[in-house]
């Protein structure tokens, strides 16, 4: 009995749920065994003053999320990429400031055609443009940058004007070093980050390091939209590895946890191999091993299948 309670407790923990274990154990339990389970799991159940054990209400909500993870992953995977990104943007806007990173992620890690496709899909699905909804929902200092990023259609060729890149590195440096003003409010900074090609920005940031001695992201505040934009534009695999690590962290909130499904589903056929390599370099552990350890059931099996497509 104790072994079964341990298995069941584990089945209810982490990402997803171990459906097979739940069915095989609960399907044969009698009332007294179920009572022993409730008594033996104070993290799941609370003793009521009317002499019965009741589910922790917060944990019920958590379990509902976990049972739904597999379904959500399947739905996202089968969507056209344009619709998927459009719906992710809509969802991020509905959740508020703690989800703005999703807007930056989509705007800065997709190709110009992919972002344009997401904007077209958004028109069809919601009878609005992404740009107008971002402008409507966001009323703080991030507004100007985020509207510009989701509106972008970048040149994707290899040509770069080195002199212009160097001058723009100086513009960024002066804005970042200006203690009297947040660089995200600087129009020139917004223009550079939202219009220049990724190849051009790489040279800009190389010049920045030559001029100021640090990588540009080292000089930006940790939780800033600017820092996330720079990372997505120049080192997307590092950005995605960090999102995955935060999603798998103990105590991560639900919004952060959703990054696990989002990144795996959207990058499985793009750069998952490079993301796994970056994850191993950053955290000293194989990403597949973390998925094996921390996820369960059909959700786990589906994630592993998507991750292994890159092998």
- Detail the residues annotated as belonging to a binding site for Ca(2+): 12, 14, 16, 66, 295
Numbered residues of the known binding site: 12, 14, 16, 66, 295
Full 3-state SS string of the chain: CHHHHHHHHHHCCCECCCHHHHHHHHCCCCHHHHHHHHHCCCCCEEEECCCEEEECHHHHHHHHHHHHHHHHHHHHHHCCHHHHHHHHHHHHHHHCHHHHHHHHHHHHHCCHHHHHHHHHHHHHHHCCCHHHHHHHHCCCCCHHHHHHHHCCCCCCCCCCCHHHHHHHHHHHHHHHHCCCCCHHHCHHHHHHHHHCCHHHHHHHHHHHHHHHCCCHHHHCCCCCHHHHHHHHHHCHHHHHHHHHHHHHCCCCCHHHHHHHHHHHHHHCCCCHHHHHHHHHHHHCCCHHHHHHHHECHHHHHHHHHHHHHHC
């Amino acid at each position: 009995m104790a072994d079964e309670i341990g298995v069941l407790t584990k089945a209810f923990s982490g990402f997803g749920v171990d459906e097979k274990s739940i069915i095989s154990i609960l399907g044969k339990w009698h009332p007294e065994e179920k009572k022993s389970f409730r008594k033996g799991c104070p993290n799941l159940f609370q003793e009521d003053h009317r002499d019965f054990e009741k589910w922790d209400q917060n944990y019920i909500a958590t379990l509902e999320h976990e049972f739904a993870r597999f379904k959500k992953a399947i739905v996202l995977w089968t969507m056209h990429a344009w619709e998927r990104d459009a719906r992710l943007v809509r969802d991020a806007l509905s959740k508020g400031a703690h989800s703005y990173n999703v807007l930056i992620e989509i705007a800065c890690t997709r190709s110009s055609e992919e972002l344009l496709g997401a904007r077209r899909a958004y028109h069809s699905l919601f009878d609005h443009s992404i740009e107008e909804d971002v402008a409507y929902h966001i009323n703080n200092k991030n507004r100007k940058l985020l509207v510009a990023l989701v509106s972008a259609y970048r040149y994707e060729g290899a040509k770069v004007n080195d002199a212009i890149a160097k001058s723009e590195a100086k513009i960024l440096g002066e804005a970042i070093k200006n203690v009297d003003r947040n660089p995200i409010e600087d129009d020139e900074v917004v223009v550079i980050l939202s219009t220049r090609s990724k190849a051009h920005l790489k040279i800009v940031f190389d010049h920045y390091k030559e001029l100021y001695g640090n990588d540009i992201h080292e000089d930006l505040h940790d939780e800033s939209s600017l820092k996330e934009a720079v990372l997505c534009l120049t080192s997307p695999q590092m950005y995605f590895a960090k999102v995955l690590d935060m999603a798998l962290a103990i105590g991560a909130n639900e919004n952060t946890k959703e990054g696990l499904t989002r990144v795996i589903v959207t990058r499985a056929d793009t750069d998952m191999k490079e993301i796994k390599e970056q994850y191993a370099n950053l955290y000293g552990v194989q990403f597949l091993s973390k998925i094996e350890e921390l996820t369960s059931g059909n959700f786990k099996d589906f994630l592993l299948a998507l991750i292994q497509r890159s092998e």
